[in-house]
Structure formats: structure tokens, C-alpha cells
Structure 1
């Protein structure tokens, strides 16, 4: 049952909504723009089982009062609102705060007030940085304009285009009044994978959105131009939304400087779907964090869970380290357990956590058992990278049945086993995820000398497209990566049809020398894999030759068929 009250904040009435037993720990949920308290319905209902849950419409939104002028939307007034609500609903005990979007931006103002740790027991933030921290983040990148820093500024600037629009006279209010408010349900559905529901979007959306523009105009430029040093001793949990269209993950780089008691976690969702479609996931993270804080222990950082096959070396190892550098928990498996153990150790040294397992991906029963073991010990993964593969060269007539079987067992059936075992778990969980399948430029670049290998990789690419369509409704993305000539040890382990042992060794050495001369590192492939997971891109050619062949396969396939007659290994 939801109970309503009004809290006075320096003369402005705030509509406050409570549910759950007031004797339980109090959690205050602060919504963003252009929402009201109803955006928290799912999460509030979940947490109310064992918490006193409090929501309020921020000033200018929903049933709360409207400031008389722009000054009434300044951050210091918004921060004071949070303390006013906390004092009213929990005068004798600190409260836990969970905030999203502009709710997070304004809650940072309260969290970073001197002595805030006396009233705020913990803070969970999503998709809303502290504007002061953002100001220093931008200064650092302008002062050190490295390619990476410049790229971050350009990318975030492109994602924040609407902030500039909000500062233009008349344009933003007119857009909301004339079109956007009416179209907002469709925007959420098409761009955010959010299905409209009773009560959301709220009936007051148009007026809430128009008034809320003042949040941007009152705070963005003044704060970012003259940022204040804002530290906090409050335990902070940062929930990064992996598919956020507005707030990029790299905006939180260096946050530990301002919030030393920081825990990072990742939710596989878009800006709004995290609240409206994946509420139980967010509620579970909040409950776990609050429990750890209440027990007096620092919560263990648990990033997204990533499973990578064939991760003992090459692209698999590079990908594991790339995810680990982002704080992920990485499960690495390989037929060679010793190499998998080494990769896991490197993951733990790179900022994440690594776990090593031995697995023969061609064994379907073993793969199913492995998936169940991982789910029991670590949970259902957020990302699966089917990387394990082997090389083989030979024309169709040269390649024996046994050689065909070996190539297909690993390169195709290994991917099928992984997609089936973990894809089923992801779909049943209902929280989304992403599957990455390593194909090859050979998937669309025919060669008479790569009959079995090219066939296996072409099948992986088509499998990825079919699976992508099937799992779309479950929020699980699928990408096929087509690397090209990458400097890994696959050439040293590749086999060749119709050759003696000495001839095979000589061909392996020549192939290894060619790939080494090309010298395209697996780390660059890993970067493209991470991009595919974040963007959901379906097919990703990596090297220049892979991209060129992909272009020709679409616009000049006949030319590739002629080239396939060449005896090129």
C-alpha cells in the first residue's frame, strides 16, 4: 500500500510516496528527467518487501510544487530537497539513496555535502554524474588532448546533443508541446526497448518536461565552467548501464578520487530499460549493496560476467584482458587448462577478476555441464564470446572426412554448443545479454584452398544472423566478428590436407611468418569485440583486408568468385 504525504522544503511542497514497513531500513528513490516517482514502480515494489521505500516527485514535476523562477532549480536547492525528505521520513536513522538520470545529478549535490555520511548511509547512482566531477573530467581531457581523450570528448558531445538544444530559446519547450510528449511512448519503445505501461509515461509528462528544461539551464554551464571539489565518504555504488544512449561508461573514469568507497557494477540495459524492464536486477544490486553496508563490510565490486572460450591465448586472451580492464568478472576456458589459468591471473592483475576452466567446446554434453556450473558458481553471464577455433587448409577433394569432422566440431559445433547452452540461460533470465561469435573474413571470402575452414566460418556467420533474430525479443544481442589476418598462434597449430609431416611443418612456419609480418595484434580485435557488445553491431570486419573483402562480397561477389580459383592458403 502506498502512503502519500507532503514535505515542505524551504517553502516548496514536495509530494512524497511511501511503502513498506517504516521499521525497516529506509531507501529513498530519486527520479530523473522527464519522469516522476512512477518510473520506480517495479523497483519500489521489489524493495518494499524488506525496506521502507520512499519516493518523491522532484520540484517542478508530478504533484510537487513548481519553483517561481530558474534559481529555484539550482543544485543546492535540489540537494536540500533530498535532505528535507530524509529528515521527514527517517529522522532518527541514516537513509539509503538510489537515483537515476537527473535524480543522480542532484543527489550527488547532497552526497558530496560535508558530513553527508551522517545522514546518508549509502548512495546508488545510475546515468547521472556529479556535474562538478564532470567539469574536472572535461578539464583534464582538454589539458591533455591525447587521441583517446579527444575521442571521449567527441563521443560524449555527440551523445549529449540534446543539452545544447535545451539551451536554445523556445525550441525545446515547443518540441515537447507540439510533438515529443505525444510521441514519447514510441521513443521509449523504439530507442530504449521499453514497453509503455499504465501510469507511465505519466499524464503530466508535457508540463513536467517543459518545466524540467530549467534543470539544464540553471546548472549545466555554471557548474561545468567553475567546478567545485566535491568529495564524499558515503559508500557509493555506481551502476553502469552498458547500453546507455546518453551517458558513456568512460565518464566515470577517476571517480574513485572523489568517492573512495566506490563499488562498480554493470547492468545490461538502456538508459530507461534498466528501471522499466530490468527492475529486479537493479533491486537485487541495491539490496546487496545495502546489506553489505549495513554489515559494516565494503561491498565486493562485481562487474558484468563474461565467458570466453579458447581464451588461453590470442584473441581470446586479449578479449579477456580488455573486459577485465573494465572491471568485469571473466570466466576463461580453454582445452589447455594451464594457459587458461594464466589468462585468469592476468585478468585479476588488469582490474577485473578471472576464473579458469578446462573445456573441449566440441563436446556438447561437456559444454552443457560447463554452462550449468558457471550459472551455479557465478550466475548467468552477461556476455558470451565463442572464440575457440582451429585453422585448416585444403581443397574440397583433398580434405578427408576426418579433417572435415575436426574443423566442423570445433569451429561450428563449438559455437552451436555455446549459443545453445548459454543463450538458453540468457533468454530464460530475461535480463538481456550479448553473444559474440568469432567468424572470419573467410566467411564471405571464398577460396578453393580453404574449403572446410571457410564453410565452417560462413556457417557461424549465418548462425549468428538467425540467432540474432530469434533472441531479439529477449534483449539478447548477437554479433559475428570477422577478424582477418591476426598475429596469433592459430597459424602454428593449423593443419594442411594432403601433406607429409615435414611439409605441414614448413607450411605452418610460412603462414606464421606471413601473419607476423602483417602484425595486426589481437588486442585490436578485442577492442572491436567490446564495441560490438556495447553497440550491438551485427557483423564486424576488423582488418583492412577483412573490410575490403566484405565490401566486395556485397557489391562485387563475382570478382571474389574469380579470385577463389587462386591457390592461396
Structure 2
């Protein structure tokens, strides 16, 4: 029995070995072939396979010597890339005769798939290739050669960095020891190591064949690595579109390995993912979505096929990171919220624009679609309403899935001394500025944690969080609470792969001044102060889009606290080293 529930199984005979092949989905659909790496079996793909099976004919097979496939005899010389290519062609002919397949490879599955997509005898049998954490040995060989022939400090650092990451390759070339280690203590401890180091869920993976698979798989390295790195092929050009997915925290492969890859792959799509090496187990949702999108684009025959990328207009600086991700922004009807929604849209994200003003939210969603969003929706919700937020959470999850990036931006301004601020004033500002953030973090953050595939929460605080003022006691308190909440959440959720960032803008030219309230004054004086504040913010001229850029950078770099404007950065620095100076400044009468 296979652990892939509902899979159809067959045996394919090739080159003296029997390959165990599993299939899901209708053979009438485009065929997506998933090729596993070392020391895995086809079951590494189980979570991805079930997510693709409703749209594609999904094929998985145990590489020779792994899982339920038989091993060559003798082992030496039985795992060359040439023989692995024979296996691929035999499986492809059996499951998809006369129609090219879409390859997806991870680790050594990707290494051998690079061979399949670059050798001439497979031309016409590969429709596309998605590579995850596995380089072409030929490209790798040329990458090393160029850095050795023209060394610079930077190139030397890249060589040393990848050399350190490749420590295990040297050990696998030693005789006998790797086999004994895998069949002994390492084989028993490997599942626990994956859970602890790679954060792979403890869901019954890997299978019981691991020690034997790992022992046999050492010959993948011995039969191929030294030979190809010494004498890489000069004609290793891809004859099909390629999607490269790079986990940013991969312990075994440097991002720099893909530098200059366009020379070998003219139709290349790049993606990056904040994850470790075992992406098929830790990020199956994201991987399945990107594969489905890429395959659909290639099958569609539109302009995306010629460029090797789906037909999208996203051109944002972080399009490789946020393309297809689900981003929810509160307070998205104007100002920083709208700018943030549009910045994610420009990266090809799917955007949910939330605002208490339904017309403004709808306008943001419309602009987001024009900016390059894969899709955009508007929701009318007051973030201070707990029940409304719970309904929003359930609706988004049911219709769009789990949010990848949450931006708690909605907020209101309140100015006035403590003694003139009423309990109702306090409740109003805390309900929106603090409880709105709490509701978002609690509801959407919980779903991120339950999914177990990471995510990011962005909470918009303020420079007022660390800049005391006699004019802003309620507002500053609410934003200081958001800052500390973010720090606490960051500590709690780090182990689940969820980042939390607190963004602290300073004086930004937004419409918050037109709705801010001023306590202790009559309506005419409040109107005058709003106008004066608006002129001050307008004269400062700091645009919301710069805050949006800082938000995207904070997610990409997983930054904890981000003061944005120069005055915010200065105040943050002074608050840490000269807090007394800020206390003295806070005693002055405000300019409004």
C-alpha cells in the first residue's frame, strides 16, 4: 500500500530495475511529474500531490534504489544521470505517451531533472520544469570554474560559502561509512532531526525505507558529482521553460548558485520563499500554487509561454517573493493602507483590501488589480468590531485560503491632554488602534499557526510609541501597546515560522489628520487644528508609498521594529540612548 491515499500504482521496468509509480488525478489533464530527492522517497511529495490532483494528472515515482523501486546491481555505476534519464523517459512513456510532461524536482530530483530538460534526447518530452533546491551539476561546474579562473574577494567568498554548505557531499564520497551511518544511528534519528532543524511536521514522514534509501542514494553523488563538476557539459541549455524556486534559508545551497542562470535558461521564472530546504513538506500550499500557476501558463499557450512565466503584469521589486501570496490589509481605503495594498499588488500578490468605508475599499481593490494583483477583493469591516472581524476571518479562509501576510494598518488619531481625554475617547482609540490589531493577530495569526507553513504579521505602530508627548497620551499609549504586542508575538510565533514586524512611521502625508479628533476644544477649534495639522503633514511631504516600501522590506528581511521616516529613526535612536532628552522635549507645548 502507498501512503498516497487514492493513488493508482503501477510498475515500470527499465534498465534492469522496477520503478514504483503512483498516479493521482485524471490522465486527461496535463501530467505533472514530481521527482524526489535524497534521502527521500516519492512520499516527500504527498502533501503537494493531493493539492494538485484536482487540476492535473499527478505522477510520482520512487527513484531507482529508493522506496518501493528496486536497486541496480551492482550499485556502483547504477545511478548515473544517463541511467536516471532512461528511467524518466520510461516513466513518461508509460504515463503520458505522446504528450510532454511538466517536471517538478526537489533536491536530487531537481538535479536529475536539470539533466532531463537540457539533454537532446528528451527534447519534446518536457513541457516545463520547476526546480526546487537542486542545481544542474553542469551549471554548478561552470559556476565554480568561472570563480576559480577569475577570483575576486566576492567570488572567493561565494565559493567558500557554498563549500561550507556542501560539507555532507564530501562525507558521502567516503567508502562504507555513509552506509553504516544511515543504517545505524542516523537512520533512526533522521525523522527527529527533520522535525527539530527543518521544522518538518511529524506526520508519518519519512517512510520506513529511509535507511536503505539513504544508503543506496550515496551512489547518486559518487556516480555523478566529481565527474560533472570537473567536466561540465557546454551544451546544457534548457529546451523548456523553467521556474526556479529558491528557499532563502536553505542550509545546503547558496542563493548565489543561480547567478547568471539566464545564460543557460532563456525562459526563466524566479521565485523565492522564506523557508528551509524541505519545501515539499513545510510549504506544500505555496509550492503547489506556484506549480499550478506555472503549468497552467505554459499549457495556456499565451505570451507567458514564450517568456517562461505566467501572463501577469506584476513588476514589483519583490515579485519573486510575493507573487500569488494572499495579503490582507486593514485600513486599506486610503493612505498607508492603500499604498501598501498597491505595493503588494505590484508584486503579483492576491490582495484583500479591508476598510470601514466600503467605497474606498472597493476603489483600492480596483487599483490593485490594475497594479498587477493576481486578484483583489474589497471587504467592509470595522476592525474594532470583534464579531465582524470573526466573520471576515471565516469568509476569507473559506473563499481565498489562509492569509500569508497580514497588515494591521487601520488606525485613528486623537490629540489632547490626558485630563481632557474622556473614558469614551480612550475606549474609541484603543478599540481601533489596539483591539483592531489584537483581533487581526488573534484570528488570522491563529490560522497561520494552524496551517504550519509560516507567514508574516505586520502591525502599524508609530514613532509616537517611543516618543512621549503631552498632546498624545491616548494615541501614544495605543501605539506603544501595539509595539510591545508585536515584540511578544514575535517571540511566541518565531518557532512556527511566522514573522512579526512593528512599523513605526513618523509624519506621513495621509488623510489621518482630516479625521483626527482633538479633545478639550469646541468644534470650530477642532476644525482649525485639523487644517493646521494637514498643512504641516503636507509640507513635510513624506508619501505613504515609502512606508509601503518599508513594509515589504520588513517582511522580506523579517525585521522586528522599523522606524521609517528620518524623524522616526532619530527618535528611536534617542529613546534608546538619551531617553531623558525625549522626556524634556515632551514637556513642551505642542505646535497645534
TM-score of the pair, normalised by structure 2: 0.71
CA distance in 2, matches of 1:436, 1:34: 37
Q: Which runs of 5+ in 1 are unaligned?
A: 139-152
Question: What aligned pairs does 1:13-32 form with structure 2 within 5 A after superposition?
Answer: 16-18=20-22, 27-32=32-37
Is 1:504 aligned with 2:529?
yes
| Structure 2 partner of 1:275 | 280
Question: What aligned pairs does 1:249-288 form with structure 2 within 5 A after superposition?
Answer: 269-272=275-278, 274-279=279-284, 282=287
CA distance in 1, matches of 2:459, 2:335: 15
| Structure 2 partner of 1:142 | none
Among 397, 415, 423, the residue aligned to 1:393 = 415
The structure-2 alpha-carbon separation of the partners of 1:244 and 1:342, relative to structure 1 and needing over 3 Å to count, comes to: farther
Q: Secondary structure at the match of 2:418?
A: coil
| Structure 2 partner of 1:161 | 161
The structure-2 alpha-carbon separation of the partners of 1:566 and 1:289, relative to structure 1 and needing over 3 Å to count, comes to: same
| Structure 1 partner of 2:384 | 362
**Deviation of residue 413 (structure 1)?**
2.2
The structure-2 alpha-carbon separation of the partners of 1:366 and 1:43, relative to structure 1 and needing over 3 Å to count, comes to: closer
CA distance in 2, matches of 1:556, 1:306: 38
Is 1:418 aligned with 2:440?
yes
| Structure 2 partner of 1:340 | 361
Between 187-196 and 278-287, the greater mean CA deviation after superposition: 278-287
**Deviation of residue 328 (structure 1)?**
0.8
Among 83, 92, 110, the residue aligned to 2:116 = 110
CA distance in 2, matches of 1:535, 1:172: 34
Deviations 1:39-74 (A, max 9, x none): 3354457778995643232689996558857x9756
Among 371, 374, 379, the residue aligned to 1:350 = 371
Among 405, 410, 420, the residue aligned to 1:383 = 405
Among 203, 216, 234, the residue aligned to 2:211 = 203
**Deviation of residue 269 (structure 1)?**
4.9
Is 1:126 aligned with 2:151?
no
Contact 1:127 1:247 in 2 (8 A): no
Q: Secondary structure at the match of 1:397?
A: helix
CA distance in 1, matches of 2:200, 2:581: 44
The structure-2 alpha-carbon separation of the partners of 1:82 and 1:528, relative to structure 1 and needing over 3 Å to count, comes to: farther
CA distance in 2, matches of 1:367, 1:164: 48
Contact 1:482 1:542 in 2 (8 A): yes
Contact 1:29 1:56 in 2 (8 A): no
The structure-2 alpha-carbon separation of the partners of 1:206 and 1:424, relative to structure 1 and needing over 3 Å to count, comes to: closer
Contact 2:49 2:58 in 1 (8 A): no
**Deviation of residue 303 (structure 1)?**
0.5
Q: Secondary structure at the match of 1:194?
A: coil
Contact 2:119 2:236 in 1 (8 A): no
Is 1:99 aligned with 2:105?
yes
Contact 1:383 1:436 in 2 (8 A): yes
Superposition RMSD in Å: 5.1
The structure-2 alpha-carbon separation of the partners of 1:304 and 1:182, relative to structure 1 and needing over 3 Å to count, comes to: same
Is 1:39 aligned with 2:39?
no
Among 347, 351, 355, the residue aligned to 1:330 = 351
Question: What aligned pairs does 1:7-86 form with structure 2 within 5 A after superposition?
Answer: 7-9=13-15, 16-18=20-22, 27-33=32-38, 35-43=40-48, 53-57=59-63, 64-65=71-72, 79-86=85-92
**Deviation of residue 438 (structure 1)?**
0.8
CA distance in 1, matches of 2:277, 2:461: 31
CA distance in 2, matches of 1:242, 1:162: 14
The structure-2 alpha-carbon separation of the partners of 1:169 and 1:130, relative to structure 1 and needing over 3 Å to count, comes to: closer
| Structure 2 partner of 1:230 | 238
Q: Secondary structure at the match of 1:360?
A: coil
The structure-2 alpha-carbon separation of the partners of 1:424 and 1:261, relative to structure 1 and needing over 3 Å to count, comes to: same
Contact 2:383 2:432 in 1 (8 A): yes
**Deviation of residue 199 (structure 1)?**
6.1
Contact 2:467 2:575 in 1 (8 A): yes
Contact 1:398 1:498 in 2 (8 A): yes
Between 441-450 and 38-47, the greater mean CA deviation after superposition: 38-47
The structure-2 alpha-carbon separation of the partners of 1:328 and 1:271, relative to structure 1 and needing over 3 Å to count, comes to: farther
**Deviation of residue 131 (structure 1)?**
7.8
Q: Secondary structure at the match of 1:203?
A: helix
| Structure 1 partner of 2:560 | 538
**Deviation of residue 415 (structure 1)?**
1.4
Q: Which runs of 5+ in 2 are unaligned?
A: 3-8, 145-153, 305-309, 313-322
How many residues are paired up? 543
CA distance in 2, matches of 1:425, 1:41: 22
Between 374-383 and 190-199, the greater mean CA deviation after superposition: 190-199
**Deviation of residue 77 (structure 1)?**
6.3
Contact 1:392 1:452 in 2 (8 A): yes
Contact 1:28 1:98 in 2 (8 A): yes
| Structure 2 partner of 1:146 | none
| Structure 1 partner of 2:549 | 527
Contact 1:448 1:565 in 2 (8 A): yes
**Deviation of residue 446 (structure 1)?**
2.3
